[in-house]
């Protein structure tokens, strides 16, 4: 029997293109479906509603050093934190370098995927008005998890403009507006910072305390410092040291009118931002507690205060969603995600999830290693363990970080620890 497999890759974002590249390296037949018109997925900026969640000023929050494919370094002239334009150009250069474009069908929506009694995948797609179904030996799911907005629910009704961070594109729309940003993650802090440059006023509402880490520590990108600590010290020591270092550099959150984190560093996603505290202390951003209720354009907060706003921006994360699967088949929107190495389904051997994890760091270097494992397994050069179901559940029960129980934290991994596990599996 031939080792060559026909593989469908869903998505031509950073995870999808490295999946395709590594499958082609093992001489598999590859077809990539993408609804957009260019490779890059989330990093292809558009003013119009699209898959992309980046806005005009977005820069990556992980450093260039830890955000590049092993076999395709970023250009030397790129800054420490490249812009979305530079990242899109990087992914397109990657696709050209490894001749991926002939294998990609753009403007193509994957409508449905199902397995037949022989284990073959039937993939139905729609391109404009044309619907077709193709059969594949294996399926690589690379549709990302930063595209389906998760909205908060509050008592009452807001009669101003209520949008999600996914819909924010240009901040000129915020000019002279009273803006309330909900959330303390990376998107929330970035939106608040950019909003306050042009708005009449910008407030930010935090339900809980967050660890906010500056982008540079001792003149170096923060994640490179964190990586050095992790490589030198046990994980729990490096995390404690990180929290102490952040306190020394920035002081406690309460100095800025923000709630303190209830947990040590690592219990929820840290926020990387060097300007939030700066603008708070300059009076350009006003901290607010959690929202109690809405009434017209007035927002009432849990501390008894209120404020009037024209725009509310919910920076409240995204749902994990695979709309091409029947919900009775696979639905990871709620509860745990039991996948070995965040990619191998315990019961379906020819189904691979590439990039379905959230590192404290960058996704696609890990996606690259996952793709190598997938490609080698399909070429019969690597064999998965017999106890995949047990190992998948172990990852659920013993995550890299014992984080708070929210849907946002079901797929968290430590960048460095996860890479080590993938590299060990590849040996």
d(CA 104, CA 108): 9
Q: Taking the alpha carbons of 348, 100, 92, 90 in that order, is the dihedral positive or negative?
A: positive
Q: Report residue 128 as tokens.
A: 């404009």
Beta bridge partners of 221: 216
**What's the pLDDT at 1?**
47
Give me the half-sphere count of Cα atoms (radius 13 Å) on the Cβ side of residue 385.
Answer: 13
**What's the pLDDT at 400?**
82
> What share of the chain in percent tops pLDDT 90?
83
Name the more confident of 196 and 234.
196
* List of domains in the chain: 6-147+318-426 (3.50.50.60), 151-314 (3.50.50.60)
Mean pLDDT of the chain: 93
Query: Across 55-195, where does the E strand assignment appear?
Result: 104-105, 108-115, 121-127, 130-136, 138-141, 148-149, 156-158, 161-164, 178-182
d(CA 242, CA 62): 16
d(CA 289, CA 33): 43
Residue-wise pLDDT tens digits, 170-209: 999 999 999 999 999 999 999 999 999 999 999 999 999 9
Could you write out the DSSP letters of every residue in 386-399? TTHHHHHHHHHHS-
**What's the pLDDT at 50?**
85
Mean pLDDT of 212-237: 80
Answer whether residue 403 shows pLDDT above 90.
no
Task: Tell me the pLDDT band of 244, cut-offs 50, 70 and 90.
Answer: confident
Answer whether residue 380 shows pLDDT above 50.
yes
Q: What is the dihedral of CA 22, 140, 403, 209, to 10 degrees?
A: 90
Mean pLDDT of 32-36: 97
**What's the pLDDT at 132?**
98
d(CA 271, CA 195): 18
Name the more confident of 422 and 410.
422
B/e letters for 377-401, b = 16+ CB within 10 Å, e = fewer, are: bbbeeeeeeeebeebbeebeeebbb
Least confident of 220-229, 288-297, 349-358: 220-229
């Amino acid at each position: 029997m031939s080792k060559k497999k026909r593989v469908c890759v869903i998505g031509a974002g950073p995870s999808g293109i490295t999946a395709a590249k590594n499958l082609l390296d093992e001489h598999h037949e590859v077809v990539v479906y993408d609804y957009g018109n260019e490779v890059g997925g989330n990093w292809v900026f558009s003013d119009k509603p699209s898959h992309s969640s980046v806005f005009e000023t977005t820069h990556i929050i992980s450093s260039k050093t830890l955000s590049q494919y092993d076999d395709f370094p970023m250009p030397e002239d790129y800054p420490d934190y490249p812009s979305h334009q530079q990242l899109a150009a990087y992914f397109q250069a990657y696709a050209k370098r490894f001749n991926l474009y002939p294998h990609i069908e753009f403007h193509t929506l994957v409508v449905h995927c199902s397995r037949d009694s022989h284990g073959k995948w039937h993939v139905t797609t729609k391109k404009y008005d044309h619907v077709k179904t193709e059969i594949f030996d294996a399926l690589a799911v690379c549709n990302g998890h930063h595209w389906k907005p998760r909205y908060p629910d509050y008592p009452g009704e807001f009669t101003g403009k209520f949008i999600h961070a996914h819909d924010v594109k240009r901040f000129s729309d915020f000019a002279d507006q009273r803006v309330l940003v909900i959330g303390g993650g990376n998107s929330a802090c970035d939106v608040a910072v950019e909003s306050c440059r042009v708005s009449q006023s910008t407030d930010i509402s935090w339900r809980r305390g967050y660890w906010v880490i500056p982008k540079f520590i001792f003149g170096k990108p923060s994640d490179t410092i964190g990586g050095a600590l992790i490589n030198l010290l046990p994980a729990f020591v490096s995390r404690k040291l990180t929290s102490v270092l952040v306190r020394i550099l920035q002081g406690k959150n309460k100095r800025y009118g923000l709630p303190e984190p209830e947990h040590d560093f690592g219990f929820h996603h840290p926020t990387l931002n060097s300007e939030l505290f700066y603008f708070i202390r300059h009076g350009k951003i006003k901290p607010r507690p959690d929202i109690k209720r809405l009434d017209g354009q007035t927002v009432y907060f849990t501390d008894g205060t209120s404020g009037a706003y024209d725009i509310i921006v919910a920076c409240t994360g995204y749902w994990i969603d695979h709309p091409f699967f029947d919900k009775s088949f696979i639905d990871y929107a709620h509860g745990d995600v039991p996948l070995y190495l965040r990619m191998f389904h315990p019961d379906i051997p020819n189904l691979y999830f590439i990039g379905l994890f959230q590192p404290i760091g960058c996704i696609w270097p890990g996606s690259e290693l996952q793709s190598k494992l997938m490609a080698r397994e399909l070429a019969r050069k690597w064999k998965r363990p017999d106890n995949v179901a047990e190992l998948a559940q172990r990852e659920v029960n013993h995550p890299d970080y014992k984080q708070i129980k929210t849907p946002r934290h079901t797929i968290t991994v430590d960048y460095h620890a996860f890479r080590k596990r993938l590299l060990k599996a590849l040996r």
